[in-house]
Structure 1
Amino acid sequence: MSRSSVLTPAPPATGPARVRNMDPWLRGFGLASLVANVGIVVTGGAVRLTKSGLGCPTWPRCTDESYTTTPEMGVHGVIEFGNRLLTFVVIAIAIAALIAAWLERPRRRRLVTLGLVTLLGIPLQGVIGGITVLTDLNPWVVGLHFMGSIFVITTAYLFWRRVVDTPVTTTPPRPLRQLAWITTLTGLAVVVAGVIVTGSGPHSGDGGAKRNHLDPETVSQIHADLVFLLIGLSVALYFAAKIAGAPTRPAIILIAVELSQSVIGFVQYFTHLPVLLVGAHMLGACLVWIATLHALHATRRPEPTVPA
């Protein structure tokens, strides 16, 4: 072996090799951030379904004199205050993910951006949550609070996908990507319609909270129609991906999650909205959205090559 070959440094790892050698902390924090943001949606649903939405009747304090719950506020105060504390756990995980991404900054500037947007979105969600309390659980503000969670879940998902993905080398057919975008926008419409249905239903978060005064049967029918459209588009996406030679597994996962969520939705509707099924449906809404993002992400274009 020549002297020059010994002294010449090896070229930096790129592509799949770099992904395989990636710091596992980055993967772990990315996945933990996504799971935590889904989890706090579920615990927020528990606050509403146990009628603890005004367990802490003001914000940012829990009472006019205390930042914490008091024994006089009972179990509702404990549930509401506990959910507020979980926000700090989610923020801590997002900070850890951002720090891990910053250490990869020379090669992962977009990852840092996604981590920062996720982190900033969490306290913004806390502010919207505080406004829901100050407006006595106005259903439109509560709906905005849920959609804010969907936004943060989106950025957390994109962060995690950027960590674990290997670069793609081929450009998907344009009609396939257009169909994936139409499916994604329909999925977003399904989520929004579901939020409106919730605002017309009985689970307001507190016995005296207002409703949006829309007819529950009408908005539920619109929601169901959009679900049928979403499932049809997802099936079309599967066949389009198969014809194009693209991965079909994301579409299969999306269809499976949609059908499971549909079963829960129909059962909860015809059993008069038991709280456990409503909570499961809220979790399912997050999973449907993540599966929709996954199907869209599978049709992404190759990223431009950046010189080392």
Structure 2
Amino acid sequence: MTSHDRRLYGWCIAALITNMGIIVTGAVVRLTGSGLGCDTWPRCTAGTFTPHGEMGIHSYVEFGNRLLTFVLVAVAIGLLVRCYRIHVTAQLMALAWINAVSIAVQAVVGGVSVRLGLNPFVVAVHLLLSVAIILVDVKAIWLAGPHTSDAADGLTMGLVRATVAMMCVVMWLGTVVTGSGPNAGDSGSARTGFDIETVARLHGISVWITVALTLACLVIATTRHLAMMRRWSMVLVAVEIYQAVIGYSQYFAHLNPWLVIWHMVGVAACAAAVGALWCSVRPTPSPIHNQKP
């Protein structure tokens, strides 16, 4: 493979964009109450794979989101084909396969969520799997493109990893908030049963812990002159500020659906940004001590 194959890099970016996009379209399905517009899977209804006029607009919204899965599959196949044609590294090939297999698993999880009447815990897994795929795609972009990373000591690496882990906690608690609130995806869908005020406060606390960790990353990167880490720490802080503004706005607006959609845009952006922060550092190689004869 050449140092940076443009087509490969393009396929990696396409994989990231499509997987970020389906988070947003999935939110549109849920917030329009279209989650059970197609009430079974893999068919739309027991008698047909596609919606028809008398089924109403919700069936078309849900079916449209299902069709986007084929776009993700096409991009995943394109990425794999390019990887095989130019003989990429084993790590990048593994990431391409993880991306493809995860999309298939994601489709099954989505189908299970429909068959279980949009069980909020299964729907949460559906979203979190998309977040995991985004992290995989960011790493693939890093390996395929002209990106560099800063050598970092154990403390810095630990801080970055803690930020990534805490962001995952934030997103998990966000799914708990959603599963406890009014935007279920269908009026008859079950809720978690948790008090939404309590889980929203826990979610808010986790957000501020994550912001504090991100600011610590920015300080460390600045004081230790880690340019890539500093850049992506700043990007992540900016996305977190956006998320905080939207998050508190939707809370005081009683979960206005349009604000929730913009919040889901932020979820996808946060996943990509924290993934880039993670990729921006690498452990400092341990010195090799040669034994004297």
Fold similarity call, TM over 0.5:
yes
Q: Is the 8 A contact 2:152 2:284 kept in 1?
A: no
Partner residue in 1 for 2:137:
156
Mean Cα deviation higher: 37-46 or 295-304: 295-304
Partner residue in 1 for 2:39:
57
* CA displacement at 1:104 relative to structure 2: 2.5
Runs of 4+ in structure 1 off by over 3 angstroms are: 165-168, 301-304
Deviation per CA, 1:227-284: give whole Å up to 9, x if none: 1111111111111111222121111111111011100000010011111110110110
Which has more radius of gyration? Answer: 1
> Which residue type is aligned with residue 109 of structure 1?
A
* CA displacement at 1:82 relative to structure 2: 0.8
Q: Is the 8 A contact 2:139 2:276 kept in 1?
A: no
Structure 2 residue aligned with 1:185, among 161, 165, 177? 165
Partner residue in 2 for 1:9:
none
Equivalent-residue separation in structure 2 for 1:97 and 1:233 (angstroms): 34
Equivalent-residue separation in structure 2 for 1:196 and 1:104 (angstroms): 43
Partner residue in 1 for 2:184:
204
Q: Is the 8 A contact 1:167 1:302 kept in 2?
A: no
Mean Cα deviation higher: 193-202 or 95-104: 95-104
Helix, strand or coil: the match of 1:90? helix
Equivalent-residue separation in structure 2 for 1:152 and 1:292 (angstroms): 13
Check 1:296–1:94 CA distance in 2 against 1; reply closer, same or farther (3 A cut).
same
Helix, strand or coil: the match of 1:300? strand
Partner residue in 1 for 2:291:
none
Partner residue in 1 for 2:102:
121
- For the pair 1:88 / 2:70, whether they are aligned, the reply is yes
* CA displacement at 1:134 relative to structure 2: 0.4
> Which residue type is aligned with residue 206 of structure 1?
D
Partner residue in 2 for 1:34:
16
Equivalent-residue separation in structure 2 for 1:158 and 1:23 (angstroms): 16
Structure 1: unaligned runs, 5 residues or longer: 1-12
Equivalent-residue separation in structure 1 for 2:52 and 2:38 (angstroms): 9
* CA displacement at 1:58 relative to structure 2: 0.7
Equivalent-residue separation in structure 2 for 1:153 and 1:242 (angstroms): 27
Partner residue in 1 for 2:241:
259
Equivalent-residue separation in structure 1 for 2:75 and 2:125 (angstroms): 23
Partner residue in 1 for 2:5:
23
> Which residue type is aligned with residue 126 of structure 1?
A
* CA displacement at 1:165 relative to structure 2: 3.6
Helix, strand or coil: the match of 1:69? coil
* CA displacement at 1:143 relative to structure 2: 0.5
> Which residue type is aligned with residue 69 of structure 1?
P
| Alignment RMSD | 1.6
Structure 2: unaligned runs, 5 residues or longer: 287-293
Mean Cα deviation higher: 272-281 or 294-303: 294-303
> Which residue type is aligned with residue 21 of structure 2?
G
Q: Is the 8 A contact 1:250 1:294 kept in 2?
A: yes
Equivalent-residue separation in structure 2 for 1:256 and 1:44 (angstroms): 24
Equivalent-residue separation in structure 2 for 1:265 and 1:199 (angstroms): 16
Q: Is the 8 A contact 1:139 1:210 kept in 2?
A: yes
After superposition, residues 258-297 of structure 1 pair within 5 angstroms as: 258-297=240-279
* CA displacement at 1:113 relative to structure 2: 0.8
Q: Is the 8 A contact 1:167 1:303 kept in 2?
A: no
Identity %: 37
Mean Cα deviation higher: 191-200 or 284-293: 284-293
Equivalent-residue separation in structure 2 for 1:145 and 1:171 (angstroms): 34
Check 1:303–1:43 CA distance in 2 against 1; reply closer, same or farther (3 A cut).
farther
> Which residue type is aligned with residue 189 of structure 2?
A
> Which residue type is aligned with residue 26 of structure 1?
L
